[in-house]
Structure 1
Amino acid sequence: MDLTAQLDRNRREILDDEVPEVVAARAVIEQAKGILMFVYWISAEQAFGVLRWRSQDTNTRPHHLTHTGSSEVLTHLTRAGVGA
Structure 2
Amino acid sequence: MDRKLDHLKIEGKDVELLPEFPVRFACIEHFDEELDDYVNDFEAAPDTYRADLIEDESMDKRCRACGAPAKIALLKEKGM
Tell me the TM-score normalised to structure 2 length: 0.31
1 or 2 for the larger relative contact order (CA 8 Å, sep ≥6)? 2
Higher alpha-carbon Rg? 1
Greater helix percent: which structure? 1
Greater strand percent: which structure? 2
